[in-house]
Structure 1
Amino acid sequence: MRLSVLASTAAALLLSTSSPAGAAPQQQQPEPVITPANIVVLVDESSSISAQDVDRERDAAALIALGEFAPSSTIAVVGFGSDNGGQSPVDVVCPPSTVATAQDRQRLSDCTRGLKSRKSGEGEGTDHAAALQQALSYLEGDKNGPKLIFLLTDGKLDVSDSPRYGPDNVGDQRNRTASELIGTLLQQANREKTQIWPLGFGNVDQAQLDRFAKGSFQGQCGVKSPTPAATVVSSSADVAQALIKAFQAARCAGASDIQRTPVSSGGTAEAKVTIPVIATDGSILVTKHDSRIAVSYVDPDGRTVPKSGTQGDSTFQVSGENGTVEGLRIVNPLPGTWTVKITSAPGVPPLDVSTVVMYQGAVRSSMTVNPPAPQAGQEVTVALSLHTRSRSITDPSALKDLSFTADVEGEGFTTPIPLNDDAQNGDSRNQDGVYSGKIVIPGEAKGAVKFTGTVAGIGISSDTRIVEAALVTGPRPLVATTTFGNTDWNVAPGDTVSGTVTVTNNSGRARKARIVVADAAPGTVASIPGEQTVLDVPPSGTSTFDFDLAFADDTVKGANAVTLRVVDDENPDDVIYEWRLTANVEEPPPLTQIAIGITIAAVVTTALVLFLHRRRRRDVRGLVVHLYDGHRSRGDLAAPEQPSSVFRFHLGEAAAGVPHLAHSAGGEDSYELSRVGGRLQLRTPYGDTQSLHLGERVDVSPSLSIEVEDEHSPVGFSEEHHQDPFTAAEPQQRPSDNHLL
């Protein structure tokens, strides 16, 4: 059935977000963007750095320069040694530059080649203090986004030959002076909220690196994320991976592990990397080590993407093709597994090419508060969810490392609200991407309270929502709740989910309420039939109304999310009740696939039934052998209660002249009883085989006989009913009693 669109007054509210009772609805926020960063990479150029170490440092610095995904971020790369008399202790190889265009990133890639290893007479010491001074000068004042310093060094502080730390000082006196200056610079970094992430390789001073990290600003991406920490690796070969891990933690970026792919001279190879569904901005970075290596990129749909321009909803910019590190920046990448095709030119030596993905999700969170206008002492449920530019995110694996936090603040109190997505403490559905929790407003609270919800963590650009709610006294004129019963939250495009709204009228006069669809996630197209949106509420009591939420044919496939609100029709700004709803929209499988699936299931089921039937018919459990001496019973023996196709027993003597049955593990004196073709078969220790029926007495010696019963057979069960279904219909083709099925 074709569903009508929302009534015009309800449609107008589609642009609103959570609003307190009596407040004007807020306009929809602009689409989420990546928060920029201000980054300085400090690279050790002291004489202990080998030519290969410098190459590794250049590549690592280029990874940061090409991998940064926010266009308005600024990046500077500074080499440092020392001033041994007449030299500058720092080399500003890349002044602060934005990364808005491919040309910007190409310049950064090119300028990193200016990093070098200083030789004797060029200031070959290690002046960490001068390096930090230079970095902090670029990061002074208010900046939009985090301020980050990455320090790459292979040595200890060594300014023993630098007169700038006291012309009359010598050796350790100068180092002590520089160390004191570092302490002052760390205080400055802390005041100006600048993080320092040191990375050491070789013979480093671990305590000094720890001092840099712990003395700087202890910012973090979220409660599950680390604060600045020093990393030490064994050699420069591990610098790139370590720097990416530090960048990931500092920049709130997602990053894959580096994939190392051997490429032969003149040969080709492929590397696979995965871009997750939460990524909206990212870069595929390829460390080629030789500019003659060519790279192309294939998306999860098998299409080679352009290195500049758009394809589908994605935008691409490549930079660094003429260098040792190449980066493809992607806005709105297609999630899934990408293939990086690597081609080496003749004459290029065999190399290990490294590939890595760095990304971030630009997200916007949605927060609901129920009831929207609470009373002091009342329990309130807060729910928080998020979406990117293109879709709602509900996949637990994409959300597990993020932190969903909330609190309520009023005059004289701030109380945290524990949130969960485990269907407990206020959360209605397990693992649906909506994190909820309950809190009781303090009984002494007055005026208004403010609810704050934040989603943060590695892999996203964090977002905070604030809802201010005026506290009310006495019962509200209208109160509402909703239920969805056992709704299936997997729907096809054009299909619906059904729910009910229960409204209690405390006003004493007939009222109207209205259901409104609001705050739809990007790509979600959903509506309620117009005739179901208006709720006519009698003067008193509680009334229940059914409604259907339809997801349009052109709604985004996958996770869909909307906020449903019940508002007072006389004052649509007065939100009575609201809740966040998510559903998974997928095309149903074609009928042919369903038919094939049913057929396969039927065949498998039939085969399984027949297999189990035959196995049961061979199973000797339930068989009991009774022993007779003439007409005198000499006891019985039951088959072991474990699956088996053979019941082994032997005849012995319990006492002189007294026959006795006992279980046997096999051997020359064993009798073997089995089921064959619906009958029983007995093999004697003498090699004879004979058939017998249940209840039939057969001789096993001149004086002894046995009779077999089946305790698992129902009373009155005859052997004719125990026939094989394949042989019972055609008894003339029944195999001989001596043949096993």
Structure 2
Amino acid sequence: MDMFRKTGVPVLICALLILPAAAPGQAAGPLGRAAAPASDGPEPIDFAVVVDQSESLSEKDLAREVEAASLITQGEISARSRAAVIGFGSSEKPGQSPVSEVCALTTADTAGRQRLSDCVQQLAHRDDRKTGPGTDFPAAVRQAVDRLTENGDKDVPKVVFLLTDGRLDVSDSPEYGTDEASRQANGAKRLTEELARARREFVQIWPLGFGARIDRAALTRMAEGGFSNGCADLPGAAPKMRVVDSSAQIDKALQETFAAARCARVAHGTVGKPPADLSVTIPPIATDGSLTVGKHDPKVTVTYYDPKGRRVPTQGEFDGSAFETSGQDGPVEALRVKNPLPGKWRVHIEAPEGHRDREVAVRAIWQGRLRSAVTLSPASPRPGEEAVVEVRMQTRRGVVITDPEQLEGVRVSARMTGEGFDPVVVPLSDGGRKPDERAKDARYAGRFTVPATASGELRLTTEMTAPGITSDRRPLHARISQGTEVLTAGLSVDRGGDVHPGQTVSGTLDVTNDDSGPHTLRLSLADQPPGSALRISPATVNAAPGGSSTPFTVTLGPDVPLGELSGRITVTDLGDGGRVVDNVFLGVRVTAEPTLWDRWWWAFTGAALLLCALAAVVAVRQRAGARRRDLSGVRLELRAEGQRPDTLTIRAGQSTGGEFLFGVGRSGGSAPALRRGGGSQAYRLRRTTAGQLLLKPPGGPERAIGQGQPAGLADGFELVVGDARTASGTGRAGRDGEGRRGGQGRREGGGPFGRRRVPGPRGPRPENSTDRTGPRGGRSRGDASAAPPRRGTTPPDPNF
């Protein structure tokens, strides 16, 4: 601790100087940046959640169904989707209906999701007066298909999520026949007809089975009976039935089923009882998502924090993301996020006493809607010529996807259409085989031959197939060239190092003009990331006949996204009807502006090391000086004529700063005594770094005293100081046990406390050591051994 007190400040300074500054990108981003427009959001779907309310399901199972229905209506990621919730049983007597539409088809925007959260709670109340105890699948499917096909967009996917045990039971429903056997047979036939209608109307059926008596075969027939094409050409996107062991697993299974049906993905988070911090991770590729919190109890309150630890709003925009919360008064709460910040999100849950007994789970359903950037080389191919297509993907935030793991399982192709030929599909790969330059760099390339019959304009559209990922399918327009072109151009971009926001990227435009006159070329930028404010200069180039080389620059805006810069440069020949003569990806890496530490870290580090070395030297010297000044082990002996001497040894820790305060006094006529402290009448003994002892009496000047030599004090007292560490060695006069100089021999091996006596000739008695007889017949003050030590005191050291 003593060492830390003396060196703590220099060490702390060294640590602060050596620690690096915060990494770029860790600072909070700008607030209020506008999010992407709604039209650029995920594709909508129309869906119906159809919930079995028959008698074969327990009240607990029914409650789980209600929460599961809430989960997917609240977790829908598109504000343009529409959802309906339908409960069903049977109709067995007058006044009963086999279906109960608790939520009409509702647009899942902010207000709509709140309405869905409220109305879905009606499923929890089974009313036998209105709905019978049987299971009328034909009526349930018919109601769902009716709602999904009325007044809707035919191009929007339509999906039915059916929660049931899969057992048809219309045995007591008069509309299916006069007896139980015929009713069941007629019910099965009617169900086949309703499924065929769903197939014709392009409505998918996704059954989720649970309960004690699951009919797997019936669930499979319903999945296969509806429309079979899913949201993508993937095995997992085709409708299929799923079975869970208990109703406790419904919410997790249904959300996974929902994600598969709408080409999304689910990230499962942590589980805990309030109060707790839960977490779920959203990947960088996600562009739209919903965090769903299955809290069961509306009394549970939820607070959301982004991966930077910032509390996000429940409504509104923040740092490039848009937020909407719904279901806060229901069993499932959801935070819909457009352009979510990738990373681990924290969800803090609280609840009052009496509402903390149930576990809360957090999940995220998300989708990556990527923008494609396409280049074609040559930019204007001739009929029969071989061409290369290259595709890159980026998020709405303008981040180019460079991690191949994020695109694992993705299949990419380009579809070329135009005049004079049938559409051509070009498979693209990232396997490192020509024309792909490098494997696993998230660049997809393919080669094709332009049909010999092609004429006029070409249109290239990227098609991506992957679970949870869709492409915007923006086309690249090109034009067929006829014959040999009189002008050719080539673009090159300097990708030699990183650039920072606000800086420029250099490039060169090489042109060969075989025409007789000049051509005006236009340089333009396409597929820029939002807010990047890229500018190219010069915007036009006058290419004279012959060969020429023109440098150009691309200036980055201050808010350009970090990472690989998306966008491409296009060169158009304005003198040839706007023919594109070349295009190239920018492909440079943007990093944050270096901080002062980044620029001068070597100087800071060197200075810090030098300061640390100096601090260490100072600390060592201070410690050595403190050891030299330390009075620990010094022995004080107080002498008075005719009195027994009193001694006091300074212990470790009693000489702070190399000083020791003591007092001299008598008590009730007794012999004088030394005591530590002394108040205002204290003597101060200190040692210098050179080892000299200095004594300052109260009110008097400080003076040097020698070891073993008596120093006069007030009231006729004398003080003799001895120190084994610094006492003089051989040849220096000391005191023998009788208080005389010289002594009968010599000492070896240390100071006065550590020497051993060696026989030798007795020296002459010094003049100043003449015996004196005190009033009590004892030896004089020079003879400490004459009087026996008083009881309770330490005998005087023979060296004094």
Per the TM superposition, whether the score is higher than 0.5 is yes
Change in CA separation of 1:50 and 1:105 when aligned onto 2, cut-off 3 Å: same
Q: Percent identity?
A: 37
Secondary structure, counterpart of 2:40 in structure 1: coil
Which of 204, 211, 215 lines up with 2:221 in the alignment? 211
Higher RCO (CA 8 Å, separation ≥ 6 residues): 1
2:528 to 520, 527, 542: 520
Contact 1:241 1:258 in 2 (8 A): no
Contact 1:282 1:331 in 2 (8 A): yes
- Indicate whether 1:511 and 2:522 are aligned: no
Counterpart contact for 2:414–2:463, Cα < 8 Å: yes
- Structure 2 distance, partners of 1:116, 1:350, is 21
Matching residue within 576, 584, 593 for 2:581: 576
Could you say which residue in structure 2 is the equivalent of 1:547?
552
Counterpart of 2:63 in structure 1: which amino acid? D
Matched, 1:41 2:46: no
- For the pair 1:73 / 2:81, whether they are aligned, the reply is yes
Deviation sequence 1:58-99 (CA, Å, 0-9, x none)? 111101111112222211000111122332111111111112
Residues 105, 536 of structure 1: alpha-carbon distance in 2 compared, 3 angstrom cutoff: closer
Cα separation, 2, equivalents of 1:257 and 1:113:
25
Structure 1 residues 349 and 274: alpha-carbon distance in aligned structure 2, compared to 1, 3 A threshold: closer
What is the CA-CA distance between 1:113 and the residue it aligns to? 1.3
Query: Equivalent residues in 2 for 1:192-211 (5 A)?
Result: 192-202=201-211, 203-211=213-221
Look up the SS of the partner of 2:567 in the other structure: strand
Contact 1:31 1:389 in 2 (8 A): no
Distance change in 2, residues 1:427/1:508 (3 Å): farther
Offset of residue 111 of structure 1: 1.3
Contact in 1 for aligned 2:399/2:562 (Cα 8 Å): no
What is the rounded CA distance, in whole Å, between the counterparts of 2:133 and 2:603 in structure 1? 75
CA drift of 1:146 comes to 1.4
Shift of 1:291: 1.7
What's the CA shift for 1:456? 4.7
Structure 2 counterpart SS, 1:491: coil
1:399 to 2:368 alignment: no
Offset at 1:223? 3.5
Give the AA of the match of 1:378. Answer: E
Most deviating of 275-284 and 55-64:
275-284
| CA–CA distance in structure 1, aligned partners of residues 400 and 160 of structure 2 | 32
**Superposition deviation, residue 494 in structure 1:** 3.1
Contact in 1 for aligned 2:321/2:340 (Cα 8 Å): yes
Equivalent-residue separation in structure 1 for 2:103 and 2:550 (angstroms): 65
1:422-446: CA deviation from partner (whole Å, max 9, x where unpaired): 5543345655554322111133445
Paired residues for 1:335-374 under 5 Å: 335-374=342-381
C-alpha deviation, 1:363, in angstroms: 4.0
Question: Runs of 5+ in structure 2 lacking a partner?
Answer: 1-35, 609-800
Give distance in 2, aligned partners of 1:412 and 1:510.
35
Task: Quote the offset at 1:412 in angstroms.
Answer: 5.0
Instruction: Kindly report which structure 2 residues correspond to 1:44-443, keeping only aligned pairs within 5 A, or say none.
Output: 44-86=52-94, 87-101=96-110, 103-116=111-124, 118=126, 122-140=131-149, 142-143=152-153, 145-166=156-177, 168-171=178-181, 173-202=182-211, 203-224=213-234, 226-263=237-274, 268-396=275-403, 397-409=405-417, 411-428=420-437, 433-443=442-452
The one-letter amino acid paired with 1:550 is: T
Q: How far is 1:498 from its partner?
A: 3.6
Give the 3 Å change call, closer, same or farther, for CA 534–338 of structure 1 in structure 2.
same
User: 2:597, 2:604 within 8 Å by CA — same for their partners in 1?
Assistant: no
**Taking structure 1 as reference, are residues 251 and 508 closer, same or farther at Cα in structure 2, changes over 3 Å only?**
same
Name the CA distance, whole Å, in 2 between partners of 1:131 and 1:240: 21
Q: CA deviation at 1:472?
A: 3.0
CA pair 567-430 structure 1, distance change in 2 beyond 3 A: farther
Task: For 1:39 and 1:76, locate their aligned partners in 2 and report how far apart those are by CA, in whole Å.
Answer: 7
Map 1:687-706 → 2, pairs under 5 A = none
SS in 2 for 1:561: coil
Q: Which has the larger displacement, 435-444 or 462-471?
A: 462-471
Paired with 2:489 and 2:408, the residues of 1 have a C-alpha distance of 32
- Against the structure 1 CA distance between its residues 380 and 48, is the aligned structure 2 distance closer, same or farther, given a 3 Å change threshold? same
Distance in structure 1 (CA, Å) of the matches to 2:460 and 2:168 = 48
- Give CA-to-partner distance per residue, 1:297-322, whole Å, 9 cap, x none: 11222222232333333333322222
Supply the AA of the counterpart residue of 2:237.
Answer: P
TM-score (norm 2): 0.65
Pair 44,194 (structure 1): closer, same or farther in 2 beyond 3 Å = same
Residue of structure 2 equivalent to 1:585: 590
| Deviation for aligned residue 1:483 | 3.7
Query: Letter of the aligned partner of 1:475 in structure 2?
Result: T
Query: Letter of the aligned partner of 2:121 in structure 1?
Result: R
- Aligned Cα root-mean-square deviation (Å): 3.1
Match of 2:638? none
CA contact (8 A) 2:54 2:89 kept: yes
1:294/1:74 Cα in 2 relative to 1: closer, same or farther (>3 Å)?
A: same
| Partner secondary structure for residue 567 of structure 1 | strand
**Separation in structure 2 between the aligned mates of residue 169 and residue 597 of structure 1, nearest angstrom:** 93
State the distance in 2 between where 1:138 and 1:276 align.
Answer: 35
Q: Give the superposition deviation at 1:536.
A: 4.5
Structure 1 portions without partners, runs of 5+ = 1-27, 604-741
CA drift at 1:49: 1.3
Q: Does 1:472 align with 2:481?
A: yes
Look up the equivalent residue of 2:140 and give its one-letter code: A
One-letter amino acid of the counterpart of residue 568, structure 1: D
Deviations 1:231-274 (A, max 9, x none): 111111111111111111111223212532234xxxx1111112
TM-aligned CA deviation for residue 479 of structure 1: 2.0
Q: Which amino acid aligns with 1:76?
A: A
Give the whole-Å Cα distance in 1 for the aligned partners of 2:135 and 2:497.
61
Distance 1:56 1:484 in 2: 59
CA distance 1:488–1:227, shift in 2 (3 Å): farther
1:493-512 equivalent positions in 2, closer than 5 A: 493-512=501-520
Contact 1:521 1:562 in 2 (8 A): yes
- Range with bigger deviation, 126-135 or 417-426: 417-426
- Deviation at 1:200? 0.8
2:19 aligns to what? none
Change (3 A) 1:231 1:598: farther
Q: Deviations over 1:212-238 (max 9, x none)?
A: 222222333334452111111111111
Distance 2:553 2:521 in 1: 16
Alpha-carbon contact 1:388-1:522 (below 8 Å) kept: no
Per-residue displacement from partner, 1:338-375 (whole Å, max 9, x unpaired)? 11001121112522111111233444433333334321
Structure 2: how far apart are the matches of 1:322 and 1:446?
Answer: 61
Count of paired positions: 566
C-alpha distance in structure 2 between counterparts of 1:275 and 1:500, whole Å: 40
- After TM superposition, the structure 1 = structure 2 runs for residues 652-731 of structure 1, keeping only pairs within 5 Å, are none
* 2:791 paired residue number: none
